[in-house]
Every structure is written in C-alpha cells, then in structure tokens.
Amino acid sequence: MAIKKKRKKKSKSAGFDLTPVVIVLGILALLFTIYIIYRISTSERHFFANSLLPLFAGLLMESFRIADNWKNVVGGFVTAYAASLIAFLPGKREYDYNFENHIGFWPYFFLFMYLLFFAIFNKEKVTAKLTEGITLLLSVSFLYWLIDLQAFRFNSIFLIACAILSLPFIVFSVVHSFTNIHLSNRQRLWLSIWSTIVVFVISIDNIYKVYNQGDIESSKYFSYNALLAVQYFFLGISAVYIMQNFILLAGFLPQKNSNYKNDLKENIKLHVERYSNQQVDIISALCCICYASSVYTLNYCYDILPRNTMIWLVIFSFPFVLFLLHKFLVQQKAA
C-alpha cells in the first residue's frame, strides 16, 4: 500500500514542462518583431507618435515605484509585449487586411495589455491603502474640477447632476477629516467608493484632455511641446491606476454567469480593507486644504497649467509637501 501511494505521489508531481514552449514562442515573437521593424523602415508612413515616449516613461516610472522590483516590471512588460502581438490578427469584419494599420494601433493595444497584467499581478500594491487625508485631497481636487468646468453655472445637465451627487460626499469627507467620528465599516466603504470614483473620473478627463491637444512637436513653439510632454508623462503615471479603479467600480455591476451576491460581498470587503481606520490629524487636514485650494485658486485665476495637469501635479506633490511640514514641526519642537 505504501509503495502504491509513493508511486501515485510521484506521478502526480510530474508535470508538463513549459520551458520549451516559452522559448519557441519567444523566438517567434522576436522574428515577428524583426519583420515589424523591417516594415516600418521601408514604409513612408509615420507610425508612432512622439508622445508615446513620455507616456511610457511615466508608466514605467510609476510601475517601478509601485512594484519596487525591476524583475516584476520587466516580466510584466515582456509578457504584455508578447500578448500585444495579437493585435496583428485580422478582425472579424476586416476583409482587406492592412498590416500597416495594425502597426499604428499596436502600441495602444500593448499599453492596454500592460496595464491589465500589471493591475492583476500587482493588485495589492496598485490598490493602495486610502486614508481620510487622501480622500480629502481628492475631494478638494474634484471640487476644483467642477468649478473649472463651470458646473455651478448650471449650463449642462450632466455637470449639474455631477455637482449635486458629489457635494454630499465632499462634505462627508471634509467632516471626517476635521472630526474624530469613528470610521465604521460602512463609512470606510463609502469613502473608498467615493475616492475610487474621483480617481477614475479625473483620469478619464486627463486622457480626453491630453489626446485632444495633439502630438508633441505639433506646434512650432518649444514651450507648448514641453508642456504637452509633461502632460503625457503625468498621463502615463495616472494610467497605472485607471485599470484598477475601473475593476473596483465594475465589481458592483452584475457579471454574466456569476454569483452576484458573493462577488458583491468580496468587492465590498476589498473596499473596506483598503481604507485605513486611522484618522488624519487636524494639522495635516489643514495643510491639505490650504495647499490644494491655494494652488487651484491661482491656477483658476491665472491659467498656469491645464486643469488636468494641475490636478495630478497637486495629488502627487502633496505627500512631499506634507513630509516637509512634519519635518519642520519636528525641528521646531526639538529647538
């Protein structure tokens, strides 16, 4: 009996070696890449926009920052690259196959595949812990977004609806930041959902605004092209979070052939667990309000940077400002 069990265990542990398959697929991908390069070099068509360089630079920089492991990022990059070659397959209604057209949209398909793989394999790191301070900063940013879009002039039904629906959440986040109200699971859930919606909306607005401004070097002015490059760089950074926030919001929608109650319960649990039950101190909350409102007011009055760029600049720069403030306060106490 013991011998039989041993043999069974041995046969169970033996599996199919995928290494040869991976090597063959890698060689085929490399050969196909060489052919793509050949077609690009022999064509008179300009395939890749210059804006892709700062876009991917921002994407990779934020990926390295989140993953904190270059092997993880490189592995995801190579996997997404291999998967993106599917873009060269003919479509269902594509009767006249044009290889050059597929080269044109291939980088964007690769971008989508990379974001998808990165969001899946780095789920816990991309789904960053949220706090009252982060939600407050996002709420102030969203209020500026509404003001800049002239939502309170009641010219658009869509913007009016956005303002009416968002104001209770903005007030809710401000009250929580400046009081010691206990963060129950229900409150953490609503604050998490609100933060996810804000990030998703301003990310979509960022994509729309940046791509509508054209490609880098579309203008003869260096300052305009440099500003556009910065916008594409921030777009690359924010793109890392778009996919994960979309997945978090899509979790509330019923899926085909799935148990909606179980899926909903898991998604609610994820939102609650990602939100910290530690409350923000009043100094940090005041710093957030003062910093964000001052920068946004100056930008609204003097139009220093486009709305979408300024919002992401404030979001990413505030932790550094807060760090300097706390460092200054510690030095003052020590003195």
Same domain for 45 and 163?
no
Range of the domain at 268: 130-334
Same domain for 105 and 151?
no
Q: Is residue 71 part of a domain?
A: yes
Give the count of domains, the chain. Answer: 2
Same domain for 307 and 221?
yes
The residues near 149 (Cβ < 8 Å, ≥ 6 apart) are 159, 307
Give the C-alpha separation, 320 to 296, whole Å: 17
Q: Is residue 3 part of a domain?
A: no
Give the C-alpha separation, 254 to 261, whole Å: 9
Exposure of 171 in the CB half-sphere (CA atoms within 13 A): 6
Same domain for 164 and 119?
no
Amino acid 10: pLDDT: 46
Q: Is residue 274 part of a domain?
A: yes
Same domain for 204 and 274?
yes
Same domain for 300 and 213?
yes
- Cα dihedral angle (54, 59, 65, 67), rounded to 10 degrees? -150
Same domain for 103 and 135?
no
Same domain for 184 and 288?
yes
Query: Where is pLDDT greater, at 15 or 277?
Result: 277
CB–CB of 203/169 below 8 Å? no
Give the C-alpha separation, 156 to 164, whole Å: 12
Q: Is residue 107 part of a domain?
A: yes
Indicate if the pLDDT at residue 186 is higher than 90.
Answer: yes
Same domain for 232 and 143?
yes
Q: Is residue 4 part of a domain?
A: no
Q: Is residue 159 part of a domain?
A: yes
Please provide the average confidence, as pLDDT, over all residues in the chain: 84
3-class SS letters over the chain: CHHHHHHHHHHHHCCCCCHHHHHHHHHHHHHHHHHHHHHHHHCCCCCCCCCHHHHHHHHHHHHHHHHCCHHHHHHHHHHHHHHHHHHHCCCCCCCCCCHHHHHHHHHHHHHHHHHHHHHHHCHHHHCCCECHHHHHHHHHHHHHHHHHCCHHHCCCHHHHHHHHHHHHHHHHHHHHHHCCCCCCHHHHHHHHHHHHHHHHHHHHHHHHHHHCCCCCCCCCCHHHHHHHHHHHHHHHHHHHHHHHHHHHHHCCCCCCCCCHHHHHHHHHHHHHHHECCCCCCHHHHHHHHHHHHHHHHHHHHHCCCCHHHHHHHHHHHHHHHHHHHHHHHHHHHHC
Same domain for 140 and 243?
yes
What average pLDDT score do residues 74-88 get?
Answer: 85
- What is the per-residue pLDDT across 204-231, written as a single tens digit (0 to 9) for each? 898 888 888 877 766 777 788 888 888 8
Q: Is residue 222 part of a domain?
A: yes
Same domain for 300 and 158?
yes
Lowest mean pLDDT among 171-180, 248-257, 280-289: 248-257
Lowest mean pLDDT among 23-27, 42-46, 245-249, 293-297: 23-27
The residues near 75 (Cβ < 8 Å, ≥ 6 apart) are none
- What is the per-residue pLDDT across 3-54, written as a single tens digit (0 to 9) for each? 444 454 444 444 556 567 667 777 888 888 899 888 888 888 887 778 888 9
Q: Is residue 191 part of a domain?
A: yes
Same domain for 59 and 152?
no
Q: What tokens does 261 get?
A: 């109650």
